[in-house]
Amino acid sequence: MQRTDLKNRFISKNITDSEFTLKKLPADASFREYYRISYGENTVMLMDSSKELDSLKSFINVSNILSKKGLSVPKIIAEDTEKGFLLLEDFGDYTYTKLLSDRQGQESEIELYKKAIDVLVELHKDKPSDALPQYCNKTLMKELLLMVDWYFPTLNNAPLSKELRNEYINIWENILPKIRYKDSCMVLRDYHVDNIMMLPNRHGVREVGLLDFQDALIGSYSYDFISLLEDARKDIPEDLYSEMLHYYFSKSNTIDKQKFLNDITILGMQRSLKIIGIFTRKASRDNNTKYLVCLPRLWKYIAKHLKNPIFEPLQEWFKKVEINIGI
């Protein structure tokens, strides 16, 4: 049976109104597909995750965890995990990306980011769920190798030498154990403006709607803060970054500031290198070049963190591979 037929059969089974329209939404960086289904005066979302069945099961698991924490995730209306379909509550179109581009004035931007930080504070209050895997050094290293294994072949039309690749691994094997808040909280991993929404009819932390959280792990308090404020897709003014850092500390007064800042440095560098690898892979393997425009911003974040003495060996390594970071 064709995928379209399976899709329509799933929708018809779960929507009693026989008259409905299906509109495909712009794709994100994953292989999932999203559709808005309109029937009568109602709308719902269809997630087609047939190419990522494991992530579908994880989405359901993480959705349940976040819902129990009192956070806003799309309600699951119907599911078919075997065929890869979910029918979800429609949160509308008010993503942070849209709101930040439409609104005028610094005050509105600060207000939005404070609400996003409030969600992190709430998320960091409780012990992380045992139902989630840990963001261990092995996982972090696997992500770090995405840059080496995808960016360099694209840059030089040849893979990096085994010697230089192993040197990069050794450098990070010495850095990763210095993360201080290794297993402290639930980490959403892709907490940025495209995946956060405003829900005007809700209050408190529930006013912020969460999307794309199926890859959640247990990790450092710093990770989602970095994801939000070292955003690959959007420039963040330095004064806004500083204000949100101060705001987070004022709301999470049990957090050790130096440990948190230590993790920002290490994980900020790790995340930017990972995303360069992911976006380069999208371009070379999947013929999707739209994210390459983000690479200069990511290199800017890398240059910022590279000034920290902890990264002196990495700075020397960049010189060997002839990448000029510009610091």
pTM check: above 0.95: no
Topology annotation, domain 3-89: Phosphorylase Kinase; domain 1 (3.30.200)
CA atoms of 3 and 13, how far apart (whole Å): 15
CA atoms of 51 and 222, how far apart (whole Å): 31
pLDDT given at position 107: 54
Rounded to the nearest 5°, which phi and psi values hold at 95?
Answer: -70, 160
Residue indicated by tokens 């069945």: 53
Residue 322, CA distances (Å) to 155, 256, 283, 309, 326 in order: 11, 37, 22, 20, 12
The residue type of 243 is E
pLDDT tens-digit series, residues 16-67? 766 888 899 887 767 788 999 998 888 999 999 887 778 888 999 999 999 9
**pLDDT bracket for residue 154 (50, 70, 90):** confident
pLDDT given at position 18: 67
Summarize the confidence of residues 296-324 as an average pLDDT: 94
Least confident of 7-11, 111-115, 149-153, 249-253: 7-11
Summarize the confidence of residues 276-283 as an average pLDDT: 96
Query: Smallest Cα–Cα separation from 208: which of 83, 104, 71?
Result: 71
**pLDDT bracket for residue 157 (50, 70, 90):** confident
CATH class of the region 96-320: alpha beta
Beta-carbon count within 10 A of 141 CB: 15
Whole-number CA gyration radius for the chain: 21
Residue ranges per structural domain of the chain: 3-89, 96-320
The residue type of 277 is G
